[in-house]
Structures are given as structure tokens and as C-alpha cells.
Amino acid sequence: MQENHVQGKRQKKKRRRSENSILAGSILLCIVTLTAVTVCLVAVFQYRAIQQQNVEVMNELEEVRLVEEMSYSQSEVDALLESAVAKTREETDAEVSSAFLDQLKEFMESGESTTDMLRYFFTDEVVVADAGRYYFFPILEQLAKNTYDPTAFMPDEDGVMHYYKEGERISHKGIDVSRYQDRIDWEKVAEDDVEYAFIRLGIRGYTEGVIMEDETFQDNIRGALKNDIDVGVYFFTQAMSVEEAEEEAEFVLEAISPYRVTYPVVIDIEAVTSTNARSNELTSEERTEYCIAFCDKIKEAGYTPMIYGNLKTFMLLLDIEKLEDYDKWFAYYDETYYFPYDFKIWQYTNKGSVSGIKGDVDLNISFE
């Protein structure tokens, strides 16, 4: 029994040593992770200091970068930042380092993302994060910029965004709907000060390519017009050729011919997450060509064409330089937008609430 007791004590000590070893390893891993994050954040701000002071290091980094857009993975961004922090330590003084340590604390406390920080110091470029990579697009001087004052956008107590000029509200409240909103009481929608509605007219299937009308289109457009709500329509494209894009436009034109459509006729261009989507391999040049074909067909019929998309749509999926002649409807869900170029309508949330509609609905603000 004495021998069993001794063996038991040895086993307990062995377990304690094992547990302590695991605990020590976990603590070490946490320290290493925290250190890595800290170094990365320090690098961001020190790299910003280089840019702001126009020192030689920034010039060297800029020479490496191409004039056209570049994309970087997270590991490549980390490597660039680590290089920047090493050089900054050699070339910046204590006052600058102290200032950036203060900035580091502020960013860490506010929980800013890597994307937010990159956008903070690359102010002359559009930074797009997608699928674990970062893309940098120089802001093109030849393209029209939006002139909205970010401080003039103000949400009311219901979260509805308004835009003011010289103390007067000049913006217009709108929604966009499809079958996902189910049955809508348009009388109540009108009573909730909705001035216009974009109604999904239809889609082209992303696997078989069949054109289908949205099953709620007829009820929605009739209900909106009956209650004096201005109407626009949108079509979700999956065109694989100019011919298919024109086919989509003709389908839309035929469907709206009985109705008074005074707002734009929109082509909805978004990335499809399905791996077997027929449009997955399209280039930006091809998408742009098909987009133009749709818009021109709509314009020929006397309507105003418009392109709907988010940051990825306009910067990655399309060649925005070739789309200067077409109005844009920009989707960006935040209190402020991030897009330098001109747009006519901003879809600022997909979690809006409107009387007469059950559940969430997209809210839009327009300026014309």
C-alpha cells in the first residue's frame, strides 16, 4: 500500500508538470500573438508617419508599387508593414514615435480593422478588401467625384438617413423590394413618407441562365403606383454575352411598358457566391461590355439607365473608367459612405424598417 501511495504521488506530480507545461505554452502563444498584432499596428502608424513627412523611405516604397491597381494578401501587407517599421525606427525621432504610440492606443481601443487603417493613410487610393486580399486603386482625376458633404448626412430617430443643405432637407427617402419582402401594404408604405421604390423586375438564373420575372413584381409596381409612389425597376443580371445583356434589357422593357416608370431602370451587378455560377469566370472587361449593352438598350427606349453595385462591383467586377456616362446606385452599409466617385443614390442599410413591410427592407437616399 505504501508503494501504491508513492506511485500515486508521482503520477500527480507528473500531471501537474504536464498541466503547467500546457498552461505555459498557452501563455507564450498569447504573448506571441499579442506581440505580432502590436508590431503590425505600430507599423501601420509609423508607415503613416513616413508618408506624412514625405521621407525617403516612402519614396522607395512608392517606387516598388505599380501605377495601376495592386493587390496584396494579408501576409504581404504584414511583410510590408514590418519592413516599414524597421526603417522607421532608424529614421524617425522620439517625438514622432511617441505620437504614433498614442495613435496606436487610440486605434486599438476603438477596435478599428486593418481595412479601416489602410484607408486612413492611403487617402489617394480606393482600398478594397475581398477574399483575404487587399486591392489598391488610384483615384482617377478624370472621373467625376461626388460632392456630398459627409457631415450633412443625418439619421433621424428611426434610423432614416437625410441630407441637409443650409439647414433644409433636400434628400428623398426610398426603398427597394423583391419577393423577399413578401406581401406589402403599399398604402402604409406611402404613409411612412416613402417617395420612391425600386422594384425587382426579374433575374437571370446563375446556373442555367433562364430569365425569370420576380413573382411579386406585378403586385408591387401596381401597389406603389396606386399610392403615388414613384417607381424604378432593377434586374439582376447574369449575362454571358452582349446578346444576353440585350435580351435582358428587352425583357425589362416589355414588362414595364404598361406602367409609368419615372425612376431609373437598373442593372444589378453583384458577385455570386455559388461556385457553379455561370458568370464566375467573367473578366471585368466582359462584365463592363455587357453592362453597357444593357444600359444603351434602356437609354434607346427613352428611360434612364442606372448601374447598381457595391465597392467590389465598381472597383473589381467592372471597369469604372468606361462607365462615366451612366448613373450609379451605390450600396454601402455604414453611417458614412466610402466611395470617391459620383453616385445618384446611396443604399445605406439592408436592415431598415418601413410601415407596411414585415421584416427588414433596404433603405435608400437620393439627391434628385
pLDDT of residue 296: 98
Angle between helices 74-91 and 2-53 (to 10 degrees): 70
Residues in the chain: 368
For 34, 216, 250, the CA distances from 40, given in Å and listed in that order, are: 10, 50, 52
DSSP string, 304-357: -EEEEE-HHIIIIIS-GGGGTTSEEEEE--SSS----B--SEEEEEEEE--TT-
Quick: pLDDT tens for 11-51.
444 444 444 444 334 433 443 344 444 445 445 445 444 44
pLDDT of residue 29: 40
C-alpha to C-alpha distance for 134 and 77, rounded to whole angstroms: 8
pLDDT of residue 18: 47
Greatest Cα pair distance, the chain, in angstroms, is 100
Residue whose C-alpha cell reads 458577385 in the numeric block: 271
**The three cell numbers locating residue 258:** 404598361
Strand 327-331 versus strand 161-165 pairing type: unpaired
Quick: pLDDT tens for 186-215.
999 999 999 999 999 999 999 999 999 999
pLDDT means per 10 residues, the chain with 368 residues, are: 42 46 40 44 48 42 42 74 63 64 70 82 92 94 96 95 95 98 97 98 95 98 98 98 98 98 98 90 97 98 98 98 98 95 98 97 95
How do the residues of the chain divide into helix, strand and coil, expressed in percent and rounded to 5? 45, 20, 30
pLDDT of residue 91: 57
Quick: pLDDT tens for 161-195.
999 999 999 999 999 999 999 999 999 999 999 99
Give pTM, 2 decimals: 0.78
